[in-house]
Amino acid sequence: MAGESWAREWMEDLAAVWGARPYEQYGCTQRALAWNCPAGAVPDGRRGVLHTLPDHGLYEVVDPSSGKPAVPGEFGELVFTPFFANLSPLVRFATGDGEVGLTFPAFWAMSMRRHMLEYGTRREQVAMVAVKNRRNGVKNDRAQFRKAIDLKEALDSRLVCDPIRVYDCCPATDGAAAVVLGPAEGAGPRAVDLLASVQTTGRARMSDYDELTFFPATVEAARRAYTEAGISPSDLDVVELHDCFTMAEIVDGEDLGLVEKGEGGRAVEAGVTDFGGRVVVNPSGGLLSKGHPVGATGCGQIFEVVRQLRGEHPNQVSGARIGLTHNAGGTQALVSVHVLQGRSSA
């Protein structure tokens, strides 16, 4: 299998560089490695520990009761060495952000506080994102939540991480999406043209950011996408962006150039990003209504925009011709922006 071939190469590279010990002594097969790379840890629900694939100098398997190295073939706890902690940003998250409880709600709560301080954004303006997107989700037959809420409900919902409340958070959701790509020639009038596809990388840890109201990966992805597509933000009719939290829609909208920096809250209040405004943001209901199936979210956004550009969306933006999708992974460690154009006005 392709995965097994990749796993063998990965093991050989580690052995050559780090002097990796044979995995077979831990009872692990190459097939197991192919499926469990690169973390190399498989939760074992029966014993509440991890079955791991240790590398010399990277991490070790220890007996949870004694703290000593586990017997080969036995289950144990995964322990990263200081060397690996310094080597891997992903591991540094576990020994940095994770240690102080800096979860995503906490991160966006700090972003909201900072935006309020620097730009005068009001708490009610942030909550208006939830009201708008929940209202949009009512018409979307594929949304998880299809019930409108008012501003008072949003502001009075259960506190998660001050000032983040339940209606500021997207739900974790099951879902799937697919995109079919083909040659433009002969595709027909219902085809949607891909004008730009850009991917950028950002910081792997929240604590690595110097600024909490600005994310360079989104700014750079947007800049390159607009250049590649030969358009400006003012040419967009519809946008599906990564509203994992209400504050994310405000910050991402600014970083994408949809509104001026610091104006995101006031733009929502004025209806700039709603139907009848300058550009309609998340007419599907966004992640706040549709839910966030993580791996399927990006393709799901493209699906929503394609329906808009074909004039087939249940919450249709009139005359939509050019759309943009924006998806972010983790702490905006990976950002993708796509620009699409329909072949006929919706």
- Catalytic site positions: 28, 292
Decide if 135 contacts 273 (C-beta within 8 A).
Answer: no
Separation of alpha carbons 222 and 338, rounded Å: 9
Sign, CA dihedral 199-203-205-206, equals negative
Decide if 241 contacts 255 (C-beta within 8 A).
Answer: no
Q: What is the CA radius of gyration of the chain?
A: 23
**Single-letter code of the amino acid located at 89:** P
Separation of alpha carbons 331 and 205, rounded Å: 6
* Residues paired with 238 in a beta bridge: 280, 323
CA-to-CA dists, residue 250 to 124, 125, 257, 281, angstroms: 13, 9, 11, 10
